[in-house]
Chains A and B, each alone.
Chain A
Amino acid sequence: MNIYLEGVLAAMGINILLALSARAILATDRLSLGNAGFMAIGAYVSAYLTVSLGWDLYPAIAVGGSAAAAIGLLVGLPVLRLQGIYFVMGTLAFGEVVRTFFQNFEPTGGAYGMRGMFGTTLTMIYVFVAAFLVLFLALGRSRLGYVADALHDDDEAARSIGINVDLLRLLAFAWGGLIAGIAGALFAHYALYIESGNFNFLVSANAVLFVILGGVQTVWGAILGAVIFSLLPEGLRFLADWRLSAYGVILVGLMILRPEGILTRAMLRRLAGFFVRKP
Chain B
Amino acid sequence: MTALLEFSQVSKAFGGVLAVDELSFTLDRGELVGLIGPNGAGKTTVFNLASGVQRLSRGEVLFRGVKISATSPTRIARSGIARTFQNIRLFRSLTVLEHVLVAQSCRSASLLTQMLPFASATDRTLRRQALAVLEVFGLADRRDELAVHLPYGGQRRLEIARAIATAPELLLLDEPAAGLNDSETAELSGILETLRAQGYTILLVEHDMNLVMRLCSRILVLNFGRLIASGTPAEVRGSQEVIDAYLGVAD
Contacts and interface: CB of A to CB of B under 8 A. Distances in A.
Contacts of A161: 77, 82, 102-103, 106, 162-163, 165-166
A147 B94 contact: no
B74 A157 contact: no
A123 interface: no
A153 B146 CA distance: 13
A165 to B, nearest CB: 7
A138 B92 CA distance: 21
A149 B91 CA distance: 8
A23 to B, nearest CB: 14
Contacts of B94: 146, 149-150, 153
Given A138-B117, A147-B114, A162 B93 contact: no
Contacts of B51: 160
A149 B93 contact: yes
A150 B78 CA distance: 16
B116 interface: yes
Interface string B162-179: 110110000000000000
A166 B75 CA distance: 12
A104 interface: no
Given A142-B114, A149-B93, A156 B107 contact: no
Contacts of A171: 111
A165 B74 contact: yes
A142 B117 contact: yes
B206 interface: no
A143 B51 CA distance: 24
Given A150-B102, A161-B165, A265 B93 contact: yes
B73 interface: yes
Given A142-B114, A149-B94, A156-B53, A162 B78 contact: yes
Contacts of A146: 94, 98, 101-102, 105
B115 A142 contact: yes
Given A144-B111, A161-B103, A152 B93 contact: yes
A124 interface: no
Contacts of B89: 154, 156-157, 160
Interface in A212-234: 217
A270 interface: no
Contact of A160 (B77, B93, B109): B77
A143 B116 contact: yes
A141 interface: yes
B24 to A, nearest CB: 25
Given A149-B91, A157-B85, A160-B82, A143 B114 contact: yes
Category for how many chain B residues contact A: 35 or more
Interface string A161-182: 1111110000100000000000
Contacts of B77: 159-162
Contacts of B113: 143
Contacts of A143: 101-102, 105, 108, 113-116, 118, 123
Contacts of A158: 91
A139 interface: yes
A154 to B, nearest CB: 5
A264 to B, nearest CB: 11
**In this complex, which of B74, B98, B101, B113 has the most chain A Cβ atoms within 10 angstroms of its Cβ?**
B74
B91 A150 contact: yes
Contacts of B102: 143, 146-147, 149-150, 161, 163
B68 interface: no
A93 B89 CA distance: 33
B53 A144 contact: no
B212 interface: no
Contacts of B85: 156-157, 160
B166 to A, nearest CB: 5
24 contacts: A138-B117, A142-B114, A142-B115, A142-B118, A143-B108, A144-B111, A144-B114, A146-B94, A146-B98, A149-B93, A149-B94, A153-B92, A153-B94, A157-B90, A159-B72, A159-B73, A160-B83, A160-B163, A161-B163, A161-B166, A162-B78, A163-B106, A164-B74, A171-B111
Given A143-B101, A152-B93, 17 more contacts: A142-B117, A143-B118, A146-B94, A149-B98, A153-B90, A153-B93, A154-B89, A156-B85, A159-B72, A160-B83, A160-B89, A161-B163, A161-B165, A162-B106, A162-B107, A162-B109, A171-B111
Interface of B: 51, 53, 72-74, 77-78, 82-83, 85, 89-94, 98, 101-103, 105-109, 111, 113-118, 123, 162-163, 165-166
Interface of A: 138-139, 141-144, 146-147, 149-150, 152-154, 156-166, 171, 217, 265
